[in-house]
């Protein structure tokens, strides 16, 4: 997620200029009109901290198509992307102080950004406690799944039998969950790195090179649904705070850890799942505009046309309120320093 310092400076300058052109202060008259009148005829900018082609981009486009209908005046919402290696971080930093807080600019960045405020404070020029949350479309739950030929078909069995699992690299969710289970739950996963992506990992399971893989369950539902339909693969653990609705019998990482200190680490690592596809505003946006945006988001999450488009795009929708997002943010950023150090 983090590029070189020169790259970050160039990208930050380009982004700042983009913000300067899109977030110009409104006239004195615009500041005195009611919130209902304010949005009429306006263009809003929805920044997404990833590339256009990924799942974040899909969520952003579908939301933008529908949310404006639930705002007074039906302002146009355009989506702009912060792609590249450090896009999510750059967006978080820029939203903190380089956006006019007029309610015309909101954002969705990577789910790792809030915990990263503690893990990588040298790069975090933001404080998520000051962000104004709008809501969350859905969490992102990474998991560990095993192929039907694996000797172990559960975490308990993996404490007895070695299971070879594939991963892209040590910093990837495909690696982190089996590694934590080995350290904290006593499993015997043998992790083989070097795979190019989830499609490569799926093929490796079919070939018999590996017996399981991590990543999101959504990546299997979208790319290899036949594996699920034919019961060739099953999740055995999720790195999340709540169980996945499509796999309610599969335990979460914190549930599988017994040592109190290790459980706190498991909860801290799993907390990023809660931020998923969450939307936020910069600090100091007028309260009446915040209320309209939150109401519009809530209405969109119940909109039949939006839900139909989300289903067609294979976008799970599991909304979370702004109150819940603020509560989770406060809890995550109150994690004791020694737990953060152990998590690192």
User: pLDDT digit string (tens) for 200-253?
Assistant: 999 999 999 999 999 889 888 888 899 999 999 999 999 999 999 999 999 999
Q: Is the pLDDT of residue 84 over 70?
A: no
| pLDDT (mean) for 47-63 | 88
Residues 100 and 212 in one domain: no
Backbone dihedral angles phi then psi of residue 111, each to the nearest 5 degrees: -70, -15
Q: Is the pLDDT of residue 88 over 50?
A: yes
Q: Is the pLDDT of residue 337 over 60?
A: yes
pLDDT interval class at 29 (50, 70, 90): very low
Residues 199 and 265 in one domain: yes
- Residue at a domain's end among 213, 240, 271: 271
Residues 250 and 302 in one domain: no
Distance CA 150, CA 158 (A): 10
Q: Is the pLDDT of residue 308 over 90?
A: yes
pLDDT interval class at 32 (50, 70, 90): low
Condensed to tens digits (0 to 9), the pLDDT of residues 95-132 reads: 998 999 999 999 999 888 999 999 989 999 999 999 99
Q: Is the pLDDT of residue 172 over 70?
A: yes
Of 324, 291, 328, 333, nearest to 135 (Cα)? 324
Q: Are strands 105-108 and 43-48 parallel, antiparallel or unpaired?
A: parallel
Residues 248 and 294 in one domain: no
pLDDT interval class at 85 (50, 70, 90): low
Residues 53 and 162 in one domain: no
Distance CA 168, CA 109 (A): 22
| pLDDT (mean) for 271-282 | 95
Q: Are strands 233-239 and 132-136 parallel, antiparallel or unpaired?
A: unpaired
| CATH assignment at residue 38 | 3.40.190.150
Of 62, 106, 116, nearest to 86 (Cα)? 116
| Domain hosting residue 151, numbered range | 142-271
SS3 label, residue 147? strand
Residues 183 and 237 in one domain: yes
- Residue at a domain's end among 271, 296, 320: 271
pLDDT of residue 24: 41
pLDDT of residue 21: 44
pTM for this prediction: 0.81
- Residue at a domain's end among 221, 250, 271: 271
pLDDT interval class at 187 (50, 70, 90): very high
Q: What total number of domains does the chain contain?
A: 2
SS3 label, residue 238? strand
pLDDT of residue 15: 47
Return the HEC string of 25-49. Answer: CCCHHHHHCCHHHHCCCCEEEEEEC
Q: Is the pLDDT of residue 287 over 50?
A: yes
Residues 263 and 321 in one domain: no
Residues 96 and 115 in one domain: yes
Q: Are strands 76-81 and 163-166 parallel, antiparallel or unpaired?
A: unpaired
Residues 163 and 215 in one domain: yes
Residues 134 and 11 in one domain: yes
Residues 133 and 11 in one domain: yes
Q: Is the pLDDT of residue 8 over 70?
A: no
Residues 181 and 202 in one domain: yes
In the numeric block, which tokens belong to residue 79? 């989506």
Distance CA 236, CA 216 (A): 12
| CATH assignment at residue 206 | 3.40.190.10
């Amino acid at each position: 997620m983090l590029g070189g310092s020169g790259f970050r400076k160039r990208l930050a300058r380009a982004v700042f200029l983009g913000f300067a052109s899109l977030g110009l202060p409104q006239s004195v008259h615009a500041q005195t009109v009611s919130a209902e009148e304010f949005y009429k005829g306006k263009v809003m900018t929805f920044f997404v901290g990833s590339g256009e082609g990924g799942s974040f981009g899909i969520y952003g486009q579908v939301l933008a198509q529908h949310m404006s209908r639930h705002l007074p005046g039906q302002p146009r919402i355009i989506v702009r992307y912060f792609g590249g290696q450090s896009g999510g971080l750059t967006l978080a930093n820029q939203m903190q102080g380089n956006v006019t807080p007029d309610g015309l600019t909101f954002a969705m960045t990577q789910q790792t950004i809030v915990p990263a405020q503690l893990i990588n404070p040298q790069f975090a020029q933001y404080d998520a406690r000051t962000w104004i949350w709008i809501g969350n479309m859905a969490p992102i739950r990474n998991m560990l799944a095993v192929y039907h030929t694996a000797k172990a078909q559960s975490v308990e069995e993996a404490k007895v039998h070695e299971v070879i699992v594939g991963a892209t690299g040590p910093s990837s969710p495909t690696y982190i969950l089996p590694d934590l289970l080995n350290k904290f739950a006593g499993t015997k996963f043998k992790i083989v790195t070097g795979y190019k992506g989830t499609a490569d990992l799926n093929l490796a399971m079919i070939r018999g090179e590996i017996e399981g893989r991590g990543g999101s369950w959504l990546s299997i539902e979208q790319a290899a649904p036949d594996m699920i339909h034919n019961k060739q693969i099953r999740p055995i653990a999720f790195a999340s705070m709540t169980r996945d609705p499509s796999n309610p019998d599969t335990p979460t990482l914190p549930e599988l850890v017994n040592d109190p200190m290790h459980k706190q680490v498991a909860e801290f690592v799993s907390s990023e799942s809660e931020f998923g596809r969450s939307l936020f505003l910069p600090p100091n946006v007028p309260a009446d505009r915040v209320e309209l945006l939150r109401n519009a988001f809530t209405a969109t999450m119940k909109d039949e046309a939006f839900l139909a488009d989300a289903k067609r795009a294979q976008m799970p929708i599991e909304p979370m309120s702004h109150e819940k997002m603020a509560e989770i943010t406060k809890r995550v950023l109150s994690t004791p320093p020694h737990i953060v150090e152990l998590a690192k």
